């Protein structure tokens, strides 16, 4: 039987290519009191600023055995943080992992958790440089901290949106929420094991389940957008479009007016919503965990930015504009096909709230 230290070495030792670690400036990696890293070369050749973010996933709060496999949990725990770095316009660099594992978990489950963490790390070129594995009396908790870098002065906060700016997202929203809905329904018929992806494939919902289990943060889009110098605010959609739009609106002191007809409806999400009699807007506005970017950009650069992202195969949708006025979010809906008058609804801030949820 391996002891704790041997297991942790097995999970974390020499898991990443030396070239990746070198590229991220890792001098001393996982295994000493602290990792030692150098500031990696910066795209602009200047002195980079550092970005620091932390996110936590708690068993039974953020996932359960049916909705997520152990490797999915690892992937998503890191992806949520990579997305935070993208939402500042930066490049993710390093990660530190804190895992509290119930004594009832087989060591193989922790191994799979680390498999997912390393798969996501390799996908985004992130060096895992630190970790702390402790036991837990009950449920599993994984907290991930990431570093990133951004050219000095180029980080994009939430606070810069100005009246007239175009509002955009870098991908469809609501797919993760729809995937969770499908998973919870399927779990009710299941055996407590993770619902197999094959079941989703057979039901035409595999893209929704993948969006929920293996989100792909918009790092490349973030870097392309940040390089333009015209993006005035940026958030990632972790808590739902409504909540993130509210955060930008509140931090910037503007109203964000979104146009329903311009929202990027995913076909599989919409089809599944209609099958279940759900308004797809519910998942799009309040579902959360989409990890696309929501931001504002100077209106005269919106189309050029969209074209630049499209040239790289990356989507960008202009979905509204910022207005002067009290902080708030509005949704403009067209009344009908005849071009008749539109309706404007105030959108509540309601989002994913752990204390009330």
- Known binding positions for Mg(2+): 33, 55, 84, 132, 236, 239
311 is a site residue for a second copy (CB under 8 A): no
90 is a site residue for a second copy (CB under 8 A): yes
Which is nearer to a second copy, 94 or 266 (by Cβ)?
A: 94
- Phi and psi dihedrals of 218, rounded to 5? -90, 60
Two structure tokens written together for 270:
């919409």
Which is nearer to a second copy, 133 or 270 (by Cβ)?
A: 133
Element holding 270 (H helix, E strand): helix 267-276
d(CA 101, CA 151): 38
Q: Which stretch binds a second copy (CB under 8 A): 16-24, 284-292, 329-337, 348-356?
A: 348-356
Mapping DSSP onto H, E and C, the string for 148-168 reads: EEEECCCCCCCCCCCCCCEEE
Which is nearer to a second copy, 143 or 332 (by Cβ)?
A: 143
According to CB under 8 A, which one of 143, 199, 278, 332 is a site residue for a second copy? 143
Cβ neighbours, 10 Å, residue 291: 25
356 is a site residue for a second copy (CB under 8 A): yes
**Least separation in angstroms between CB 43 and a second copy:** 16
Beta bridge partners of 290: none
Q: Number of residues interacting with a second copy: please give it, by CB under 8 A.
A: 70
338 is a site residue for a second copy (CB under 8 A): no
Sign of torsion over alpha carbons 231, 233, 239, 242: negative
Geometric angle at alpha carbon 249, from 247 and 250, rounded to 5°:
65
* Contact track, a second copy, 213-252, x by CB under 8 A: ---------------------xxx----------------
According to CB under 8 A, which one of 19, 34, 108, 311 is a site residue for a second copy? 34
Which residue is listed with tokens 């919409």?
270
35 is a site residue for a second copy (CB under 8 A): yes
97 is a site residue for a second copy (CB under 8 A): yes
Annotated binding site for substrate: 62, 289, 352
CB 270 within 8 A of CB 205: no
d(CA 103, CA 107): 9
According to CB under 8 A, which one of 23, 122, 123, 157 is a site residue for a second copy? 157
- Phi and psi dihedrals of 297, rounded to 5? -140, 150
* Contact track, a second copy, 50-89, x by CB under 8 A: xxxxxxx-xxxxx--------------------xxx-xx-
CB 63 within 8 A of CB 73: yes
Which is nearer to a second copy, 112 or 158 (by Cβ)?
A: 158
Residues 6 or more apart whose CB falls under 8 angstroms from that of 16 comprise 118, 121, 122, 127, 128
171 is a site residue for a second copy (CB under 8 A): no
According to CB under 8 A, which one of 16, 147, 205, 255 is a site residue for a second copy? 147
d(CA 241, CA 235): 10
d(CA 71, CA 327): 40
According to CB under 8 A, which one of 94, 112, 181, 321 is a site residue for a second copy? 94
d(CA 350, CA 240): 9
Give the interface with a second copy as residue ranges (CB under 8 A).
3-5, 7, 27-28, 32-39, 47, 49-56, 58-62, 83-85, 87-88, 90, 94, 96-98, 100, 103, 129-139, 141, 143, 145-148, 150, 152, 155, 157-158, 234-236, 353-357
């Amino acid at each position: 039987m391996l002891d704790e230290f041997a297991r942790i070495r097995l999970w974390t030792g020499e898991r990443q290519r030396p070239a990746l670690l070198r590229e991220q400036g890792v001098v001393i990696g996982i295994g000493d009191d602290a990792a030692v890293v150098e500031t990696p070369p910066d795209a602009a050749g200047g002195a980079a600023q550092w970005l620091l973010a932390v996110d936590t996933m708690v068993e039974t709060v953020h996932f359960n055995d049916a909705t997520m496999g152990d490797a999915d949990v690892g992937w998503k725990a890191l992806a949520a943080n990579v997305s935070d770095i993208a939402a500042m316009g930066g490049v993710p660099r390093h990660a530190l992992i804190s895992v509290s594992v119930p004594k009832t978990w087989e060591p193989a489950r922790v191994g799979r958790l680390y498999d997912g963490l390393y798969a996501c790390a390799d996908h985004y070129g992130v060096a895992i440089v630190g970790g702390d594995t402790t036991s837990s009396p009950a449920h599993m908790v994984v907290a991930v901290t990431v570093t990133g870098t951004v050219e000095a002065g180029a980080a994009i906060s939430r606070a810069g949106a100005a009246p007239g700016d175009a509002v955009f997202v870098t991908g469809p929203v609501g797919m993760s929420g729809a995937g969770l809905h499908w998973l919870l329904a399927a779990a009710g018929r299941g055996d407590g094991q993770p619902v197999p992806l094959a079941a989703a494939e057979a039901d035409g919902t595999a893209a929704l389940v993948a969006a929920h289990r293996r989100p792909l943060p918009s790092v490349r889009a973030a870097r392309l957008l940040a390089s333009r110098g015209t993006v005035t605010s940026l958030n990632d959609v972790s808590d739902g479009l409504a909540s993130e739009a509210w955060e930008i609106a509140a931090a910037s002191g503007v109203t964000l007016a979104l146009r329903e007809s311009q929202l990027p409806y995913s076909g599989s999400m919409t089809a599944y919503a209609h099958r279940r009699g759900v308004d797809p807007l519910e998942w799009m506005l309040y579902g959360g965990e989409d990890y696309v970017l929501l931001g504002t950009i100077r209106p005269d650069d919106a189309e050029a930015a969209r074209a630049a992202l499209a040239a790289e195969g990356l989507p960008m949708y202009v979905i509204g504009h910022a207005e002067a006025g009290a902080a708030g979010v509005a949704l403009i809906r067209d009344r009908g096909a005849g071009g008749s008058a539109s309706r404007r609804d105030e959108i509540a801030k309601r989002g994913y709230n752990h204390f009330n949820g």
